[in-house]
Amino acid sequence: MPESKFEHDKLAAMKTHPLRRIFLGRALRNERLEGELLPKKIALPIFASDPLSSVAYGPQELIMILGLGGLSFLAFAPGIAAMVALLLTVIVLSYRKVIQAYPSGGGDYEVAKVNLGRGASLVVAAALLLDYVMTVAVSISAGTDNLISAFPDLAPYRVHMAVGFLVLIFAINLRGIRESGVSFAFPTYIFITTVFVMIGSGLYKVFVLGETLVTTSSDYEIHGVHDFLENPTQAAVVLLLLRAFASGCSALTGIEAIANGVPAFKEPKIKNANITMVAMGTIAVLMFLGTTWLALTSGVKYLEFPDQLNNQAQLDQFLTSPQQSLMAQVGIAVFGNNSLMFYILQAATAAVLLLAANTAFNGFPLLSSVLSRDGFAPKMLQTRGDRLVFSNGMLSLAGAAGALILVYQASVTGLIQLYILGVFTSFTVGQIGMIVHWRRGIKNKTVSNKEAFSGLLINGLGAFMTSSVLIIVTLTKFTHGAWLVFIIMPVLWVVMYETNKYYIEVDKEIQLRPDMKFGSKGDYAIVLMDKLTAPQLKALDYALSSKHDRLEVVHIAVDPIRAESFAKEWEEYGIQVPLRIIPSPFRDFGAPLSEYLTEYRLLHEQQRMSIYIPKYVVGHWWEHIFHNHRANRIRKQLMYVRGAMIVLVPWRLESAEKIDLFSRAPLPGDVRRGEVLRSSGQMRRHRGEDNKVITMVAKKDATPDDILDLDND
C-alpha cells in the first residue's frame, strides 16, 4: 500500500493516460473536494458570468425590438431599461431569502419540492435544465458574434467557431471547479473593468467635455416594419413595448445559479453566497443601465430586418458586411474605431460571453445530481469524475447545447426567442414556494415574525413581478419560436416523472420481504467446452475446486460431426466427469443452453446453477479481430436465465502476459468498477516475490482429483 497521500496521488497519476492527464489533470482524491470549494472572488466569475455578460445582448435585443416601430420608439428604452433593472434588484433580494432558507443546492427546485409538491418541482427542474442549455447556446453564439464584429472576415466560420468554443469550455470545466474558476476569473474581471471604464469615459465626454458620441449606425434612417406601419394601433404599440421588455429581461438569466451552487462555496456558505449575490446584482444593474444609456446617447441602431433602412447606400453597406453588435458600436463611440481599448473591449466581451456558459456548466450538473439523488434522473448523473466534478452532467449539457448551436447556426436572434421562458417559470414557481414557506413558518412558529413578514414582502413582490413577466414573455415570444419551449418542457417533465416511477418500481422489486427464503438446496454446475484445450480444462479445474454437488461438461453441438468427434476425445481422455451434448440445429450456442438451463430450473427450483465459461484475454486491441467473442455473447444470453450464475474463467494469452495490465491506458469508469486496483510498481514487486508461473496440463486418463492447477495468471 502507498505510504502517503502524496504517493497515492502519484500512483493515481501513473494510471491515467498521458493525454488525459495533460487535458484534464491527474485524478483527485475524495479528500480534495473541500479544496475545490470556492472563495467569493472566484465564485463571482463562475456563477455570475451569465447575468454579468448579458449586458452585451440584453440592451441589444431591447433596442432591436423597439426599432421595429421606428426611431420614435427608442424614446421608450430608458423606461424599459429601468423596469428591467428594478426587476433584477427584486429577484436578487428574493434569492437571498432562498439561499438562507434552502442552502442545499436545489434552489427553486428544492423550494418547490418542499412547499408545492413533486409536480411543481418537476416543472421547475424542466424549466431550469432547458434554460441552462439555452444559456450555453446563447452565450457562445453571442461571444462568437462579438468576435466577428471585431474581425468581419471570420463571419463564414461562425458555426465552426461556436462549436470549437463549446468544446473548449467543456474541456476546461472537466478539469475541476477551482481550475475552471481561476481560468475564467481573469477575463470576467477584465470585462467588468473595461465596461465600467467605457461607461465612465462616456459620462466624462458627454457631461464634462460636452462631446457628442457618434458610432457607425448613428446616421441610420430607419422606419417601422411593414406590418407595424399598416396597423399602428394602441394594441400593436403595447405589444411591441412588452416584447421589447421581454427581450431586455434576457439580462436576468443565470441569477438563480448562485442559489443552486451554495454547496460549492467555502464556509460560511450562506454568508459567502449572499455576499456574492449582492455583488453580482449591483454590478449587473450598473452595467446594464450604463450600457443602455451609452447606446441611446451615441445613436446605436441594431436592426432585425435590413428593409428597415430608408437609405439605399446604407442598405447596400448593411448587406455586404456583418452587423456590428451593440457593444462594438458603443465601444467605437467611446474609444474610437480600431483603437486599442476597442479591441480590448471586444476581446473581453467575447471572452466573458463565451465564459458565461460556465454558469450553466456549474449549475446544470449540480441540479442534475440533485435530481438524480431524488430519483428523477439517471443515477450516473451523481457520479463525480476524476476531477471531482459531475462530468456526466457536463457531457449531457454540452451535447444538448451543441445540437442547438448547429440547428440555429449560432444565431443569437434565433436562439434568444427560446430564452428566458424557462428561467421565469422557475422564478415564479420558486417565489410562490417561498411564500408557502414563510406562511408555514408563521403557523409553526419556526421563524420569527420579522423574518417571515420580510420574506413575504420580498418574495410576494418577486412572485407578482416574475409571473407578470412570464405572461408577457409567453405572449410576445410564442409565435417567434418560443412555442418550441412549450413542447420541450412537458416532454422533460414526463421523462423525469417516468424515471422516478421506474426507480420506485425497481426499489419495490429489490426490497426485502417477510416471505423471502434464502438457502439453496442442491448445487448444479456445468463447464462449457468446445474442444479439449488448456483454457477449457482450467475452467473445469476451477469448477472441481468449488466442490459442486453435481458437475457436468456441456458441449453445444452446432456441428454434429464435430460433436461426435469431441465425445470420442472426451471418452479417450478419461476424465471422470459426465459429458452432456446439447443439439443446436440452428448453429446457435446461447439459445439451446438457455433453454436447457430453463427446463432444468423448472425441475429443480431450489438448486443453484453455475456455468463456467472459458474466455481468452489478449494484450493488443487488434487481436480482438481474430477471436469470435463467443463467451461474451453467451454470457449476455444467460443473464436472463433465472437462477444462473455465470463464471468467466480467463486465459491470458502470451501477448497479455507481456503487458503490465495495471499500467495500461484506463478506460472511462475503470476506477469506479474496480478494474484498476494496483499500480504498475506494485504489480512488478508482486511478480518479483513470486516468479513461478504454473503451466502444467491435465494428463491423459486423469481423475478429477488428478487435474492440476492450470493457473496461467
Task: Answer whether the bond into residue 263 is a cis peptide, omega within 30°.
Answer: no
Give the residue among 132, 118, 103 at the shortest CA–CA distance from 376.
118
Query: What pLDDT score was predicted for residue 262?
Result: 85
Q: Answer whether 303's CB lies under 8 Å from 317's CB.
A: no
Query: What pLDDT score was predicted for residue 7?
Result: 46
Q: What is the mean pLDDT of residues 596-609?
A: 87
Residues 606, 595: Cα–Cα separation, whole Å: 18
Query: What pLDDT score was predicted for residue 318?
Result: 72
Torsional sign, CA 214, 219, 224, 225: negative
Residues 105, 238: Cα–Cα separation, whole Å: 39
| DSSP states of 328-391 | HHHHHHHH-TT-HHHHHHHHHHHHHHHHHHHHHHHHHHHHHHHHHHTTSS-GGGG---TTSS-H
Residues of the chain with CATH 1.20.1740.10: 37-503
Judge whether residue 378 has pLDDT over 50. Answer: yes
| DSSP states of 39-63 | -HHHHHHHHHHHHHHGGGTHHHHHH
Judge whether residue 693 has pLDDT over 80. Answer: no
Query: What pLDDT score was predicted for residue 29?
Result: 46
Q: Answer whether 291's CB lies under 8 Å from 55's CB.
A: yes
| Non-local CB neighbours of 419 within 8 Å, separated by 6+ positions | 131, 134, 135, 138, 250, 253
Judge whether residue 13 has pLDDT over 70. Answer: no
Query: What pLDDT score was predicted for residue 1?
Result: 42
Give the residue among 267, 281, 290, 269 at the shortest CA–CA distance from 48.
281
Q: What is the mean pLDDT of residues 460-466?
A: 90
How does strand 550-557 pair with strand 579-583? parallel
Residues 345, 353: Cα–Cα separation, whole Å: 12
Judge whether residue 234 has pLDDT over 80. Answer: no
Q: What is the mean pLDDT of residues 552-572?
A: 90
The alpha carbon of 135 is separated from its chain's Cα centroid by a whole number of angstroms, namely 13
Q: What is the mean pLDDT of residues 53-65?
A: 84
Judge whether residue 339 has pLDDT over 60. Answer: yes
Q: Answer whether 65's CB lies under 8 Å from 243's CB.
A: yes
Q: What is the mean pLDDT of residues 254-270?
A: 82
The pLDDT-based confidence of 672 (bands split at 50, 70, 90) is: very low
The pLDDT-based confidence of 228 (bands split at 50, 70, 90) is: low
The pLDDT-based confidence of 231 (bands split at 50, 70, 90) is: low
Residues 231, 228: Cα–Cα separation, whole Å: 5
Q: What is the mean pLDDT of residues 360-384?
A: 82
Judge whether residue 542 has pLDDT over 60. Answer: yes
Give the residue among 360, 365, 367 at the shortest CA–CA distance from 105.
367
Q: What is the mean pLDDT of residues 521-545?
A: 89
- Rounded to the nearest 5°, which phi and psi values hold at 528? -80, 120
Residues of the chain with CATH 3.40.50: 523-706
Judge whether residue 310 has pLDDT over 80. Answer: no
Q: What is the mean pLDDT of residues 507-525?
A: 76
Residues 377, 372: Cα–Cα separation, whole Å: 4
Residues 462, 86: Cα–Cα separation, whole Å: 11
Q: What is the mean pLDDT of residues 561-567?
A: 90
379-388, 520-529, 545-554, 611-620: range with lowest mean pLDDT: 379-388
Query: What pLDDT score was predicted for residue 122?
Result: 92
| CA contacts within 13 A on the Cβ side of 300 | 29
111-125, 319-333, 626-640, 678-692: range with lowest mean pLDDT: 678-692
The pLDDT-based confidence of 707 (bands split at 50, 70, 90) is: very low
Give the domain 523-706 fold.
Answer: Rossmann fold (3.40.50)
Task: Order the strands of the 608-617 sheet from edge to edge.
Answer: 579-583, 550-557, 523-528, 608-617, 644-652
Query: What pLDDT score was predicted for residue 365?
Result: 83
Per-residue pLDDT tens digits for 631-671? 888 888 888 888 889 999 988 887 877 665 455 555 444 44
The alpha carbon of 244 is separated from its chain's Cα centroid by a whole number of angstroms, namely 32
Highest mean pLDDT among 22-26, 515-519, 643-647: 643-647
CB atoms closer than 10 angstroms to residue 49: 32
CB atoms closer than 10 angstroms to residue 11: 16
| Between 227 and 298, residue with greater pLDDT | 298
Average pLDDT, the chain: 79
Give the residue among 95, 177, 183, 182 at the shortest CA–CA distance from 362.
177
| Non-local CB neighbours of 38 within 8 Å, separated by 6+ positions | 46, 177, 178, 181, 264, 265, 266
Q: What is the mean pLDDT of residues 382-386?
A: 63
Query: What pLDDT score was predicted for residue 709?
Result: 41
Distance separating the N- and C-terminal Cα atoms of the chain = 21
Question: For the domain 37-503, what is the CATH superfamily, name and number?
Answer: Amino acid/polyamine transporter I (1.20.1740.10)
Q: What is the mean pLDDT of residues 464-490?
A: 83
Q: What is the mean pLDDT of residues 692-696?
A: 34
13-22, 308-317, 392-401: range with lowest mean pLDDT: 13-22
Highest mean pLDDT among 418-422, 566-570, 687-691, 702-706: 566-570
With residues binned 3-state (H G I as helix, E B as strand, rest as coil), the percentages for the chain, rounded to 5, are 70, 5, 25
Give the residue among 419, 468, 405 at the shortest CA–CA distance from 50.
419
The alpha carbon of 229 is separated from its chain's Cα centroid by a whole number of angstroms, namely 45
**Residue 64, SS3 per DSSP:** helix
Of all residues in the chain, what percent carry a pLDDT higher than 90? 22
Judge whether residue 51 has pLDDT over 70. Answer: yes
Judge whether residue 362 has pLDDT over 90. Answer: no
| Non-local CB neighbours of 623 within 8 Å, separated by 6+ positions | 653, 655
Q: What is the mean pLDDT of residues 541-554?
A: 90
| Between 501 and 660, residue with greater pLDDT | 501
Judge whether residue 240 has pLDDT over 50. Answer: yes
| Non-local CB neighbours of 344 within 8 Å, separated by 6+ positions | 190, 194
38-47, 143-152, 353-362: range with lowest mean pLDDT: 353-362
**Residue 562, SS3 per DSSP:** helix
Query: What pLDDT score was predicted for residue 229?
Result: 55
232-246, 391-405, 507-521: range with lowest mean pLDDT: 507-521
Judge whether residue 142 has pLDDT over 90. Answer: no
- Rounded to the nearest 5°, which phi and psi values hold at 608? -95, 150
Residues 307, 442: Cα–Cα separation, whole Å: 59
